[in-house]
């Protein structure tokens, strides 16, 4: 039967590709989204190793039920892929407080809900892998990405520490930091824009929104290739703690590291 996977956000995008790659590798996948029917539609019918379940990751009790049901049915959760998320794209002051909190509710606290539900089962077996889909935006922030990056920076800090807590118990962690992927992540299904008009930002916001519209569907990263890499790493006995995926992501992350080194050096020079 292979490994038992629990994947969130499967109805489209990278989650769908990860699920497909895992199924192609002979794995069994409990595939979740807010609508189980949306998962079924995404896979054009039933697959004998695909098991769709509805899960809103912001509902902690629902996450507990899905984890318990998976373990009861299959005996284990070998791999958790915390993938579900979305992006608030735009300038910080154009977002309401509610929109910012919603970004964290899904991207950070939702992922925490699922990890909190799954970790006890992995601890009991002293085995498991938690794959967290972060972003290069969890390492580097730019104008227009401040709110989304804030949520992903938080995910990075949480998982970097949580992974060290889990490692002595036989549980591994893989943080995935893609650059721009050719998914629907930047369209209205997965991205949201600020709603407050501010004259000082109007021109810059218009340029940013034009950039997003122009990039959507033309992103350089291949989600199928990333999904295959994630599945291959999950099936290895040893895997890296991070996967920075895409030339763009590696360039941005490298530039950030260089910038930090320079700033640290300048701080030392100043005493």
Q: Which long-range contacts (CB under 8 A, 24 or more apart) does 66-71 make?
A: 66/6, 66/30, 66/32, 66/117, 67/6, 67/114, 67/117, 67/118, 67/121, 68/117, 70/4, 70/6, 70/30, 71/121
Is 208 one of the catalytic residues? no
Per-residue confidence (pLDDT) for residue 180, from 0 to 100: 86
Per-residue confidence (pLDDT) for residue 207, from 0 to 100: 86
- Whether residue 187 contacts residue 216, with contact meaning beta carbons closer than 8 Å, is answered with yes
- Among candidate residues 151, 152, 173, 201, the one labeled active-site is 152
Contact partners, residue 246, CB within 8 Å, separation at least 6:
136, 178, 179, 180, 181, 220, 221, 226
Two structure tokens written together for 113: 């809900």
Is 256 one of the catalytic residues? no
Per-residue confidence (pLDDT) for residue 258, from 0 to 100: 97
DSSP state of 75: S
Is 148 one of the catalytic residues? yes
Distance CA 265, CA 234 (A): 38
Contact partners, residue 240, CB within 8 Å, separation at least 6:
174, 233
Per-residue confidence (pLDDT) for residue 201, from 0 to 100: 92
Q: Which long-range contacts (CB under 8 A, 24 or more apart) does 252-261 make?
A: 252/136, 252/139, 252/140, 252/179, 253/136, 253/139, 253/140, 253/177, 255/140, 256/139, 256/140
- Among candidate residues 148, 149, 192, 201, the one labeled active-site is 148
DSSP state of 213: H
End-to-end CA distance of the chain, in Å? 60
- Among candidate residues 3, 11, 134, 208, the one labeled active-site is 134
Structural domains of the chain sorted by starting position, each given as residue range(s) with its CATH number in brackets = 4-269 (3.40.50.720)
> For the chain, which residues score pLDDT lower than 50?
182
Tell the residue number behind the tokens 């549980």, with chain if given. Answer: 171
């Amino acid at each position: 039967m292979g490994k038992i996977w629990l994947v969130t956000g499967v109805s489209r995008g990278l989650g769908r590709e990860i699920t497909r790659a895992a199924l192609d590798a002979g794995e069994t996948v409990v595939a979740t989204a807010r609508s189980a029917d949306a998962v079924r539609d995404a896979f054009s019918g039933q697959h004998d190793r695909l098991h769709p379940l509805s899960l809103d990751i912001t509902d902690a009790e629902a996450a507990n039920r899905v984890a318990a049901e998976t373990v009861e049915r299959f005996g284990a959760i070998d791999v958790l892929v915390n993938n579900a998320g979305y992006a608030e794209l735009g300038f910080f002051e154009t977002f309401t407080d509610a929109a910012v909190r919603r970004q964290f509710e899904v991207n950070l606290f939702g992922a925490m809900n699922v990890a909190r539900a799954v970790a006890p089962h992995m601890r009991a077996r002293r085995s498991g892998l938690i794959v967290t889909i972060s972003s290069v935006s969890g390492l580097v922030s730019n104008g227009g990405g401040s709110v989304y990056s804030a949520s992903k920076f938080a995910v990075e800090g949480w998982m970097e520490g949580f992974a060290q807590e889990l490692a002595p118990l036989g549980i591994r962690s893989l943080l995935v930091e893609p650059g721009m992927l050719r998914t629907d992540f930047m369209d209205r299904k997965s991205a949201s824009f600020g709603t407050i008009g501010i004259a000082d930002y109007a021109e810059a916001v218009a340029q940013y929104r034009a950039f997003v519209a122009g990039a959507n569907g033309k992103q350089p990263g291949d989600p199928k290739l990333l999904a295959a890499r994630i599945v291959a790493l999950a099936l290895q006995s040893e895997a890296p703690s991070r996967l920075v995926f895409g030339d763009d992501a590696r360039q941005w992350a490298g530039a950030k590291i260089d910038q930090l080194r320079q700033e640290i050096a300048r701080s030392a020079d100043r005493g």
